[in-house]
Every structure is written in structure tokens, then in C-alpha cells.
Amino acid sequence: MQIVLRDRNQGPFLTKVLDYAQAEALLDEAQLAEIKSKAVLMSLKLADKFYNQHKMHLLENAAFDVIGVASLGLMSLSNHDLTQAFKLIVAPNGIVKSFQKGWNMLNRVSKYKLNGKSVYGDIDPMLLDKISTPSDADEWQGWQSYQDALLDFNREESIVGLLKQFYAQTTYDPLDCLSLENVFAEIVLYRLFFGPVKVRPDLKQCVAKIELEDVWFSIEHIDQQIKLTLSELPSQLAEIIKLELGKYFTAGLLRTLTFAKNYRELRLQDASPERLERFEYKEGLTGLLGWPVYIVM
């Protein structure tokens, strides 16, 4: 594996650190050779563990993975500071520790992305492909790719937290493609109707059995319900949800509440399932925030 030292600002962070060290006369040939030697050994081990057993024999790809993953870990450990990063990389096993840090970061955010076995163990192969880079790449978007994956991971972890706290059935399947905003909206809507009880897949049936109060149909009242629900959550989860809610979240809930009122009237009129489905589909085309999308058999 060749780590090419060039003057660039957008390439892999590992290369940038070595460029900086060479420019500042901080790195001698022996140190550079040691780093290269360890990187080559890591590439061989990575290829042997994840590639050769699948008959891929892609040592060059393993080298690119090592550079990308080590860059990711080094950026995290050094807080993007080149001076601190250099101190870390020349320390005993510095590049190994950087790689391990980056690998653990990728492992964590891949939790909900794997639908079966990955060639890379517990790492999402599409994410690793975005992180992987040759040392002389003119541009490396690995850190931003990780941040995007981390954002998705936090959303899915937040959905799991909401299901555990507020739903009667807490099993989560990433293939359901639930949005954090919509899950939270369903909680607020369900609790507005039925009080502080566990959310069950019965809203469409039970809505006909309750009286909808006029006071509910106001932005102010819905805002109170949102704040009340948020207050019951751990602070970190509440903050993630606040950031996720769109500017029209409350207005969207009010619109859904108005739809629920009309839906209730149809149920009281013993409307056929087909008519209810057509009404629901028509309204759903323009967005029903928090209205359950499950099919009740």
C-alpha cells in the first residue's frame, strides 16, 4: 500500500495529517516507514478476514478501507486537529487505534442497516464504500458520510425508544421505514384521544367510541399535548425529537385531527370498509401526520 504525500485540503484525513507533519518537519523517514508498515499489515489482515474467505482477493480495496476507516477514527480522536492527530498517529499502534476507533464508529451506526450478513461483519457495506479511499484522492467525503449515517442511526434509536416507552407492541423492524416525526405524532394523537395509555393498533376502531371535544381543535391545545409528551421522555431523546419536528408539525396534527372527526362520522354511519379506505387514501395523499398506516385485519 502506498500512502502518497501531496498538498491537498480535501483528501483523506490520514493523508492530511502526514502532509502536515512532513511540511512541519515533524515526521522522519523511519516514522513514516513504520506507519506504512503497520498500514500494510492491517490491510493484509483485513483482506484475510473479510475478503479472501469470500474469494474477493481485493488487497487494494482493503488498503483503501484501512485509509478511510483510520482517517475517520483519527478525526474523531483528535477532534479534527492536525497537531493532536499527528501525536496520536506516531504513538505506539497509533494507526491501529485510529482504525479500531473508526471501525467501532461504523459498527455502531450500521445497526439498523444490515438486512442479512455483510461481507464486512457488522458494517454496512454501502457505508464502508463511502468511507473507503485511496491515499491520493483529491476529495474525501468520509466524515460527512458518517455524520449522515449517524443522523439516521439516532433517528432509528429514537423510534425504538418511543416504541418501548409508549407502545403496547415494541418490536421494531427497520423495513417498516417509520419516520421519527410520524411515530411521535401518532403518540400525541393517540394520547389526546385516550389519555396516557399505551398506543395500540385500534385507533381506527375506537375513534367512533369517543367524543371529540371542541377544545382539542386548536393549535394551543395540541402544543400543550406535544410539550406534555416530550416532558415524559429522557432529555436527550426529547432534544432529538424537537430537532426532527417540522415547522408545520402542530398544524399537521390539527389537520389530522379534523380528518379523524370526519372519519369518525363515517364509522358512525356504518360506512363500508371500501368507502372508509377511499376516504383515507384520498386524504392521505396530501399527508396525514400521525394517522396510523397499519392494516387491521
What pLDDT shows up at residue 117? Answer: 67
What pLDDT shows up at residue 233? Answer: 94
Cell 442497516 -> residue:
113
| Domain residue ranges in the chain | 13-140, 171-284
- Per the confidence metrics, is the pTM higher than 0.85? no
Q: How many C-beta neighbours within 10 Å does residue 100 have?
A: 15
What pLDDT shows up at residue 217? Answer: 95
What pLDDT shows up at residue 142? Answer: 96
Q: How far, in Å, CA of 206 to CA of 60, rounded?
A: 60
Q: How far, in Å, CA of 241 to CA of 161, rounded?
A: 11
Which amino acid is present at 48? D
Asked if 94 and 88 touch (Cβ cutoff 8 Å), the reply is yes
Alpha helices in 232-272 (DSSP H): 235-244, 249-268
Dihedral Cα 71, 73, 75, 77, nearest 10 deg: -150
What pLDDT shows up at residue 58? Answer: 65
pLDDT tens string 54-83: 444 466 788 889 999 999 999 999 999 999
Long-range contacts of 243-249 (CB under 8 A, 24+ apart): 244/155, 244/158, 244/180, 244/181, 244/184, 245/181, 245/184, 246/181, 249/181, 249/185, 249/289
208 closest CA partner among 271, 275, 292, 285: 271
Beta-carbon contacts of residue 106 (< 8 Å; ≥ 6 apart): 69, 72, 123, 124, 127, 128, 131, 146, 149
What pLDDT shows up at residue 285? Answer: 66
DSSP per-residue codes, 57-106: --HHHHHHHHHHHHHHHHHHHHTT-HHHHHHHHHSTTHHHHHHHHHHHHH
Q: How far, in Å, CA of 252 to CA of 230, rounded?
A: 17
32 closest CA partner among 24, 23, 21: 21
Q: How far, in Å, CA of 81 to CA of 88, rounded?
A: 11
Mean pLDDT of the chain: 87
pLDDT tens string 132-185: 998 888 899 999 999 999 999 999 999 999 999 999 988 888 777 789 999 999
pLDDT tens string 93-128: 899 999 999 999 999 999 998 766 666 778 999 999
pLDDT tens string 205-241: 899 999 999 999 999 999 999 999 999 999 999 999 9
pLDDT tens string 25-51: 888 888 888 888 788 778 777 776 766
Name the pLDDT band for 292 (thresholds 50, 70, 90).
Answer: confident
What pLDDT shows up at residue 176? Answer: 77
Asked if 43 and 66 touch (Cβ cutoff 8 Å), the reply is yes
Angle (CA) 153-181-145 rounded to 5° is 30
Q: How many CA atoms does the CB half-sphere of 121 hold within 13 Å?
A: 11
Cell 522522519 -> residue:
28
